[in-house]
Chain A
Amino acid sequence: MAMDITGKKLFVKALSEEGVDTVFGYPGGMVTDILDELYKHEEIELVLPRHEQGLIHEAEGYARATGKVGVCLVTSGPGATNIMTGLADAHYDNIPLVCITGQVPLNLIGNDAFQEVDIVGMTRSITKYGVTVRDRKELGKILKMAFHIAQTGKPGPVLIDLPKDIQTAMGPGEYPESVSIRGYKPNASVHIGQLKKGYKLLKAAEKPLILAGGGINIAGANDKLLALVEKTKIPVVTTIMGKGAIPTDHPYYIGNSGMHGRYAANMAVGECDVLFSIGTRFNDRITGDLNEFAPHAQIVHVDIDTASISRNVVVDVPIVADANLALEKLLEWAAPQETESWREKIREWDKENPLEMRRDKGMTPQMIIEEINRQFAEGIFVTDVGQHQMWATQYMELNEKKQFITSGGLGTMGFGFPAAIGAKIGCPDKPVVCISGDGGMQMNIQELATAMAQEANVIVCIFNNYYLGMVRQMQQLFYGKRYEATCLRRRKGCPGDCKGPGEQCPPYEPDFVKLAESYGACGIRVTQESQIAPALEQAKQCNTPVLIEFMIATEDIVLPMVKGGNPMTEMILK
């Protein structure tokens, strides 16, 4: 029988036993005891961000890049509410996090005490599991549950609300080795009968198509998917989260499907007779008008989450399974199929409308991304949210050495830069490139200080078009160029009916180069195509975080584009 110890000691013990070497933490009154305990443990690195939202995105980037659980430690009240966006983001994109929020002492809960909020209540719908520890005796079990739930099944964020008095109370010193939860039994098998049925459909198909989602990347089933594709010769499209599921230069890979997907990919979904989808939840950005989604196809759907199946799209063969297990089985049966004429048709579509931006005048995002592709043989590529993100999903080349991290489900502006810092902290030996916009970058710009402090030398490529471009693009196409609230140069003196930029526009603020320099980071401005390659070369040589501001044309839009709610085959191409 171990000696009784304090809650904070047990907490640190739990971190050690779970192999946690990095904690993303921000101090506050209700976590000072835990911080004091962490002070004594050098083997656990505490990363201090400059804002709790930056903190949780850093933990997300870390978890994505390493495959380990990201651990967050924040104080009660505003510390806790500041991580909510990140919790929702991690919940959508299935990122394993364990977040500990300090809480006021048990006897003050409910009294509207200083910095008290009901964070468990607030986050119920955006966490996989959340609980307030009310009994010191339960602490060990709850911590074990948190790590177990966060990383098994469909991964996700778990929140533990830890009152201050529990942190200092004496109690059992054991940290359980395993935990059994009667209401939580993640699926660990695959229904062979269903899978056979699904494969039979696929085998009989004349125009088969595989739709690979983020589940492939989460399960690490990339090799198996590649093997299946090569064996069966079936072409593949991906979702945004599934990008990189197979190497993007593979002859059977068509591209992303969806709202800003490749023309040929969306046409293939529209024409295929069997759609074999793995690890996607058929988000509206993938399906468009549900009645027109894959109208000629029988759909097989493999997903680890029963609730994802037949929710948005009613499927013909539902299969509840981990992508790895399902693909492993499929590989046993897989045999070559005659798909040459079908693939030829897809190639024709691609020739008809290739994915290509204008090359006539000046620098385009495509040129920048292509140069990134050329200069980095390996690395982690993180995006923020907006036009630059869509361009990145279109033009980034990925393979087993290149990982892509983006906020897909929640679409969180401000995600990219801190996530890149977290990825770099987790994988210090890999180059980490963040592609961001001038809008999203400013949502967590303060994390430049964190990057400096952590020596997280990420290369940030800001695509600056002076606009919140994704919405500006919609205003341009669907709202008569009424650019309300999307111009970042706009000042009080500007005319109310401004229809676009001109010589009269005020200067852009901030000056990103000076801003980077003020943090001690390196700032580079690129205004024309010929400067792209030297700027990236220079950035790779820097021993600090680097911020490259690419002054791109204001008017470029992301194409193809499908208007929300329209069929995916009705693409705006010009």
Chain B
Amino acid sequence: MTKNRWIALYVENQVGVLAKVSGLFSGKSYNLQSLTVGTTEDETVSRMTICVTSDDITFEQIKKQLNRMVEVIKVMDFTDVPIHMKEILFAKVKECSVEDKAELFQIAQVFHVEVSDIGTDSILLECKATERRNNELIDLLKSKFKQIEIVRGGGVAIESISTSCAGRSEYFRKQN
């Protein structure tokens, strides 16, 4: 089934590794949705969070292809694992009327979005939510306002610790 899937990747923190990983996706026509990368607690290691759209067979192949790269230390499949996932998004809405501003404040309240800057006729929203929630916010803003500027960071994800469902998945993994 074709759907969005999540992979976390530990890679060597070296020149060219990002190019190699992203090159795999373009070279083999895998559908990359987002890729974020940053160093970890160990400065020789970077961690990537990757979102791909693919069917089951392609996804298996993507994981295998990543695994065989010398610079990839570990591949973690987050597809059926409870995770915490967030994406940073800035949305600047320009040419706002007074009414527009009022509405934006309302939207911000409902979406739990921070209004982080404001000018005479523009507002900057700062959102930290799941990618899907961010998509919804963008759709809403696009439908209501003409002049918007969006910048998104791509999702970062980490396994959950204490939720009951995390425990359950651990249990199921052992069973299988």
Contacts and interface: CB of A to CB of B under 8 A. Distances in A.
Nearest to A311: B61
B96 to A, nearest CB: 43
B19 A124 contact: yes
B43 to A, nearest CB: 15
A450 B64 CA distance: 41
A369 B69 CA distance: 41
Contacts of A182: 73
A314 B71 CA distance: 28
A120 B16 contact: yes
Interface residues of A, number: 21
Contacts of A120: 16
A305 interface: yes
A131 B23 contact: no
A311 B15 CA distance: 30
Interface in A313-336: 314
A124 B21 CA distance: 10
B66 to A, nearest CB: 9
B110 interface: no
A107 to B, nearest CB: 15
A375 interface: no
A121 B19 contact: yes
Interface residues on B, range: 20 to 34
Contact of A307 (B15, B19, B64): B64
B173 interface: no
Contact of A124 (B14, B16, B57): B16
A183 B71 contact: yes
Interface string B56-75: 01001100110111111110
A250 interface: no
Contacts of B71: 183
A124 B12 contact: no
A181 interface: yes
B148 to A, nearest CB: 36
A128 interface: yes
Given A120-B16, A125-B23, A134-B15, A307 B61 contact: yes
Contacts of A183: 11-12, 69-74
Given A132-B15, A182-B73, A310-B57, A125 B27 contact: yes
A307 B69 CA distance: 11
B20 interface: yes
A149 B68 CA distance: 11
B9 to A, nearest CB: 10
Contact of B70 (A132, A184, A307, A311): A184
Contacts of B61: 307, 310-311
A314 B57 contact: yes
Contacts of B14: 131
A128 B71 CA distance: 11
A376 interface: no
Contacts of A314: 57
B19 A149 contact: no
B64 A306 contact: yes
Interface of A: 120-121, 124-125, 128-129, 131-132, 134, 149, 181-184, 305-307, 309-311, 314
Given A124-B16, A310-B61, 7 more contacts: A124-B19, A181-B70, A183-B71, A183-B74, A305-B68, A309-B64, A310-B60
9 contacts: A125-B24, A128-B70, A129-B70, A183-B12, A183-B71, A305-B68, A306-B67, A310-B57, A314-B57
List 9 tightest A-B contacts by C-beta distance, closest first. A307-B64, A183-B73, A129-B70, A184-B70, A306-B64, A125-B27, A183-B72, A182-B73, A124-B20
